[in-house]
A and B are shown apart, each in its own frame.
Chain A
Amino acid sequence: MTNENARLNVDLPGLTLKNPIMPASGCCGFGEELGNLYDLNQLGAIMIKAATSRPRFGNETPRVSETPSGMLNAIGLQNPGVDEIVAEKIPNLKAKFNQLPIIANVAGSSESDYVAVCRQIGQPEKIAAIELNISCPNVAHGGMEFGVDPEAAYSLTKACVAAANVPVYVKLSPNVTDIREIAQAVAKANPAGFTLINTLVGMRFDLNTKQPILANRTGGLSGPAVLPVALRLINQVKSVCDLPIIGMGGVNCAKDVLEMMIAGADAVAIGTANLTDPFVCPKIIADLPNVMDQYHITSLKDLIAQRNGVSV
């Protein structure tokens, strides 16, 4: 029997994690607010809010709408810009939680934007890894434009991998006909791995005004409703590509985490569940050993090693 702590360890390129759990980008800010609620050193890692070259207000409001077992959001990559993130947000987070690997989400509207931000933020003294956001559905330029075209995704990934001095994980969009095609194209640019899924594009309308509820008209669907879609896409990517995957999409509890790891994930990010319960990540970490016992899982590394043959 592995000792209690080591049971939850997972290793990914650049990320030696005490457990696989990390709050997903866009659902934990820059760690300031959650860091006032609990000790973030408990987390496997944290994926901070997207950084762009310039400060962004994002979209107008309403930016969110509830849906059955889920929600739509169209925040629009609001952030204070990479300069402030590098000068203040990251140093503050590191000063308060010195055992917390930071994964920085990078977004942009052009390849040169992405490259400049990757170069500035992607230094090992600042962060552990980059999550390259080529799949944000809520901005007019960039974002998902790159993530739905295999050639554009390859070219952008290649440039960012070259610009950054930390491992680059590419965040894939579910809003494509065949995610395997995109994953295989991106893999040729030698990223450290993938993160998936970003949100699914959706809409809701107001019966009174007959208009879309979100100011951006469309938004990204997340929450428990998308879990099966995320599991399918993770499993599909795993079936064609050996790169490690940080899985995300509708994960709410320790059972969901294990299911996502069986599907193909090596670590798991928790997104929308933080909005329902800001304490969800430490709760899942605390629950994992008991749920692993229930399903006779000795350690997460064993689970990953043994999950062969579970592909679409």
Chain B
Amino acid sequence: MIKDYTVTVEQQVELAPTIFELTLNGAIATAGITAGQFVNVKIPDDQYILRRPFGVAEVNETKAQIKLIYRVVGEGTEIMAKVQPDDQLKVLGPLGHGFPIDFLQPKDRVLIVGGGTGLPPLYELGRRLQQKQVQMEMALGFPTRERVFYEHEFAAFGETYVSTDDGTYGIQGTIIDLLNQKFKAHEYQAIYACGPRGLEIAVSNYFAGHPNAYISAEARMACGIGICNACVLHTKADPNGPSEKKVCVDGPVFHIDEVLL
């Protein structure tokens, strides 16, 4: 059930320059969030009327905590980066549809492809897949060495390789270069990707036709609940027609053949 939860800041950590991890205490943690779902955070300044959508990076039902990870990209996230422990935030959620994982069996092999601030929802996904005893391999892309985060956290799930656009860390190149070099050997029961649109398009093309390849789309949103129609995508079946999918309610997770990125 979607509600506007009041949460209390437990802590805020700068994981890498401009990348922040926010731990929040509140009942939203026990609202049945699935991996890949997102929340809409009210910026604590009424001048900013649009909430900011963030994929949930970690759900801890026992401690009633969730973690969000975000990058400071504008005035709204600059204000978020200043919130302190015990500050309160309004968080609408859980929103959207998460990653389908029910079909996976123990020992199934899964590839997780993440880029930059697309990593957070994939981390909670990894935690769920670990509980299901699924074998995971991770391909993580970042722009540069200083923006790398959560490498060790993902490495705890399985074999993890990193690329950077400028080659300052890991393999130099795009996520496709990384896939070509390190992930050609195996077949995967499922592929899950989240990152910048360029990464998601590349992954969609790379795994075209795969029955269980999913991306979590990013979009400029206003409401997050399907009433404003800001975040629509064309469908691959009807690329020029009136058919559409809303990232906020039909997604953010889509099969790679469903939407036109």
**Contact A61:B242 (CB < 8 A) given known A73-B230, A75-B229:** no
Are B222 and A275 in contact, CB atoms less than 8 angstroms apart? yes
From 35 to 92 in chain B, residues with beta carbon under 8 angstroms from any chain A beta carbon are: 42, 46-51, 76, 92
A125 within 8 A of B: no
Interface SS of B by simple majority = loop
Closest to B244 in A: A57
Partner of B223, one of A55, A61, A78, A275: A275
Count of A-B residue pairs with CB < 8 Å: 102
A311 within 8 Å of B by Cβ? no
Asked if B225 and A278 make an inter-chain contact with CB atoms under 8 angstroms apart, the answer reads yes
Flag B212-229 by CB within 8 Å of A: 1 or 0 each. 000000011111011111
Say how far B154's CB is from chain A's closest CB, in angstroms: 30
Does B2 count as interface, using CB distance less than 8 angstroms?
yes
Q: Does A99 contact B (CB under 8 A)?
A: no
Those of B1-49 within 8 Å (CB) of chain A: 2, 4, 42, 46-49
Closest approach, in angstroms, between the C-beta of B220 and any C-beta of chain A? 5
CA distance A81 to B242 in the complex (A): 10
Q: Is B190 an interface residue (CB 8 A)?
A: no
CB of A277 within 8 A of chain B? yes
Interface size class of A (residues with CB under 8 A): 35 or more
Considering only CB atoms, which chain A residue lies closest to B243 in the complex?
A: A57
Given A33-B249, A80-B242, decide whether A64 and B2 contact each other with a Cβ distance below 8 A. no
In-complex Cβ contact of A56 among B2, B219, B242 (8 A): B242
Q: Which of A16-57 contact B (CB under 8 A)?
A: 26-29, 32-34, 36-37, 49, 54-57
CB distance from B210 to the nearest CB of A (A): 26
A64 and B230 contacting across the interface, CB-CB below 8 Å: yes
Please, how many angstroms separate the alpha-carbon atoms of A284 and B42 in the complex?
19
User: In chain A, what residue has the closest Cβ to B75?
Assistant: A66
Report the minimum CB–CB distance from B234 to chain A (whole Å). Answer: 7
Q: Does A123 touch B at the CB level, under 8 Å?
A: no
Q: How far is the CA of A8 from the CA of B225 in the complex (A)?
A: 29
Whether the pair A61, B222 counts as a contact (CB closer than 8 A) is: no
Contacts of A28 in B (CB 8 A): 227
B27 to chain A, nearest CB (A): 16
A276 pairs with B42, CB closer than 8 A: yes
Is A13 at the interface (CB under 8 A from chain B)?
A: no
Instruction: State whether the Cβ of B232 lies closer than 8 Å to any Cβ in chain A.
Output: yes
Considering the chains assembled together, what is the distance between the CA atoms of A49 and B223 in angstroms?
15
Determine if A224 is an interface residue (Cβ-Cβ < 8 Å): yes
Q: How far is the CA of A79 from the CA of B183 in the complex (A)?
A: 43
Contacts of B242 in A (CB 8 A): 54-57, 78, 80-81
Shortest CB-to-CB span from A228 to chain B, Å, is 16
27 contacts between A and B (CB under 8 A): A26-B228, A26-B229, A27-B223, A28-B227, A32-B226, A34-B225, A34-B227, A36-B2, A56-B242, A57-B243, A61-B220, A61-B230, A63-B220, A64-B50, A66-B48, A66-B76, A73-B230, A75-B229, A78-B232, A80-B242, A81-B242, A223-B49, A274-B223, A275-B223, A277-B42, A278-B2, A278-B227
